[in-house]
């Protein structure tokens, strides 16, 4: 039988991959609230070093978990789906998939840090074993695991969830989103097969954090009834607090740190309820979602922060599998140039 041997959560912001010398240049083109601190280049360099150290710790932990497959919980930002059809949850059950590497962000914002894989092959070992055509520049091809993907799909359906599924990329020219490629690059060196679990985090109405927590628990149960002998690591990708490109963006560090306290203690329902109980302050235009546009439905959301902060639900989904187990918080790094709360965590579920 398959076994979930660990849960990892990781940031995936472009600021993890661009040169810190460019951070304040990018900041100057954004609308930030006046009270957001301004870090010096020296401070940004130190924060970039902490980000690299966070990734290094997760790579080490992932290697020690000896995963055969990674199940990555991430959000789709109009890469696969759009407003003609946008599911709350979806499972990718295809043989392989492609997506953009962080080099695209490095080229857009300025290169820096470990933007290349840490292995010998930029497109991964096992991930390219079944390749039948060239990979477009700036993209990587990863191996999926259709058997486990189907097992997850049918397993969560038996537990009261009805996700969509994809047997191939809905938009091959775009591939799958960065929420899946960046962990595969930064933690797995593109070498481990991945089953993508896609969540709607951005576009109201999204699933509540408590619903994501319940889905994460069902996800673990579905994996562990799959008959093949597999070691599986579940990864939550994104977050924490951020409203990229929004007017008067700011960073609620207290909200993030409280969420991480629940995660550290293994109280994932508490983490989810903390998220859902948040009320947007009057006058906070950075979380406004009421006007329909390319990146907003104009429909109302449920409780909790809006915008990119809802990627925290990717963490809550993954952590649903480690409910009741203490988690190690590697670091929390407030990157004011975005602004975004960058964090890393892991939980081993076996000795």
Per-residue pLDDT reduced to its tens digit, 16-26: 999 999 999 99
Of 118-132, 282-296, 315-329, highest mean pLDDT: 315-329
pLDDT tens, position by position, 21-42: 999 999 999 999 999 999 999 9
User: Is 41 strand, coil or helix?
Assistant: helix
Dist. CA 123–CA 119, nearest whole Å: 9
128 pLDDT above the threshold of 60: no
Return the closest-CA partner of residue 234 out of 158, 327, 140.
Answer: 327
Residue 116: pLDDT band (50, 70, 90) is very low
Residue 119: pLDDT band (50, 70, 90) is very low
50 pLDDT above the threshold of 80: yes
Mean pLDDT of 2-7: 98
pLDDT tens, position by position, 204-237: 999 999 999 999 999 999 999 999 999 999 999 9
Q: Give me the chain's average pLDDT, please.
A: 91
Residue 132: pLDDT band (50, 70, 90) is low
Could you tell me the pTM of the whole model?
0.93
Q: Superfamily assignment of 3-348 in CATH?
A: LigB-like (3.40.830.10)
345 pLDDT above the threshold of 60: yes
Cβ 215 vs Cβ 156: under 8 Å? yes
Dist. CA 3–CA 254, nearest whole Å: 35
pLDDT tens, position by position, 279-311: 999 999 999 999 998 889 999 999 999 999 999
Q: Could you tell me the CA-to-CA distances from 41 to 18, 107, 284 in Å, in that order?
A: 13, 20, 29
Q: Look up tokens 């486990």; give the residue.
A: 148
pLDDT of residue 118: 39
Supply the angle between the helices 253-265 and 268-276 in degrees, to the nearest 10.
160
């Amino acid at each position: 039988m398959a076994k979930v041997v660990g849960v990892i959560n990781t940031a995936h912001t472009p600021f993890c991959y661009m040169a810190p010398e460019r951070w304040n240049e990018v900041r100057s083109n954004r609308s930030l609230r006046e009270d957001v601190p301004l870090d010096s280049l020296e401070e940004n360099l130190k924060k970039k070093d902490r980000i690299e150290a966070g990734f290094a710790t997760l790579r080490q932990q992932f290697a020690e978990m000896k995963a055969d497959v990674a199940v990555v919980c991430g959000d789709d930002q109009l890469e696969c789906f759009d407003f003609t059809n946008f599911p709350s949850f979806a499972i990718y059950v295809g043989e392989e998939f492609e997506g953009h590497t962080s080099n695209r962000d490095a080229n857009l914002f300025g290169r820096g840090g470990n933007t290349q894989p840490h292995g010998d092959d930029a497109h991964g070992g096992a991930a390219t074993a079944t390749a039948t055509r060239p990979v477009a520049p700036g993209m990587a091809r990863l191996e999926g695991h259709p058997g486990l993907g189907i097992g997850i799909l049918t397993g969560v359906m038996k537990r009261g969830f009805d996700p969509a599924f994809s047997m191939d990329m809905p938009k091959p020219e775009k591939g799958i989103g960065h929420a899946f490629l960046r962990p595969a690059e930064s933690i797995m060196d593109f070498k481990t097969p991945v089953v993508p679990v896609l969540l709607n985090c951005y576009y109201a109405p999204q699933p509540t954090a408590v619903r994501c927590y319940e889905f994460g628990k069902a996800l673990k149960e579905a994996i562990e009834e799959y008959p093949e002998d597999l070691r599986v690591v579940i990864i939550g990708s994104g977050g924490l607090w951020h409203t990229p490109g929004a007017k008067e963006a700011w960073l609620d560090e207290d909200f993030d740190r409280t969420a991480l306290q629940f995660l550290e203690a293994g109280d994932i329902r508490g983490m989810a309820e903390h998220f859902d109980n948040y009320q947007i302050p009057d006058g906070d235009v950075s979380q406004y979602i009421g006007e329909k546009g390319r990146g907003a439905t104009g429909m109302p959301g449920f409780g909790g922060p809006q915008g990119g902060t809802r990627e925290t639900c990717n963490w809550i989904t993954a952590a649903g599998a480690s409910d009741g187990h203490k988690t190690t918080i590697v670091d929390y790094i407030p990157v004011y140039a975005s602004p975004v709360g960058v964090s890393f965590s892991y939980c081993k579920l076996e000795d």
